[in-house]
Amino acid sequence: MKEREITALEQALGYHFRRRAVIEQALTHSSQAREQEAQHAGDSKYKVSDNEQLEFLGDTVLALVTSEELYHRFPHFREGELSKLRAHLVSERHLIRVAQRLELGHYLRLGRGEEKSGGRSKTALLVDALEAVLAAIYLDGGLEVAREFVLRNVVAPELERMEREGGMMPVTDFKSALQEAVQGLGLPQPNYVLVEETGPEHRKTFTVEARLQGRSGREVEFVGRAQGSTKKTAEQDAARQLLTALASQSKAETKTAARASHEVK
């Protein structure tokens, strides 16, 4: 990475690295690392570190810091409530917004194939990079610095947003919420279909469609399509899209009914 890029990233992160190698590793995708190694195929000792191990460590640090903060902040919450709130704060759906706000995609080191396929905007890559960057901060500056980063960027802004909007617990199980919604509307239950599976065995990306039929049970009226690093994640995001579609339809029908009633009067 160029010096000005590292400086810009450090400003965004609010942290200055003493060891530049650790942040460069955190931003190095496996595609870039394997590509560099291939260029030195004759040298079996030539190895390039990618961010997969750092991602693993960062995930653990994130869970620890988030759990500790929720434990102290909400002493009246039961275990189930704490678990549900933590699941939201460390979810791919929330972390992608943090990664995008920090513009991590701009700093990723990708192989040519991943670059061409739009890797800089892929949710899985950005979330993995965010967790790897957190691990880099932890290794370079210690737990307290990492805790400050997590609270400032991941936990506090989201809790404040939720409080402004009424303090409601977030919906994290969109499949269950969708099941309840369609039951209330008298619709058939949605079908979840795996339509695509890409990537190496250890790092697959799953594309799932959630298909919702109308009352006749014959034609599909709504389709939610989402990608995720697991089938479960993709299914949840697809279910979320269907919930949004149903809510939009309900609002439109309410407005139409109100307009018709007004015209009759």
Active-site residue numbers? 59, 131
Cα–Cα distance for residue pair 235/222, rounded to 1 Å: 14
**CA 227, CA 243: separation in Å to the nearest integer?**
17
CB 130 within 8 A of CB 102: yes
Cα 138 to its chain centre, rounded Å, is 21
CB atoms within 10 A of CB 223: 15
What distance in Å separates the CA atoms of residue 117 and residue 43, rounded to the nearest whole number? 29
| Position 83, amino acid | S
Beta bridge partners of 196: 207
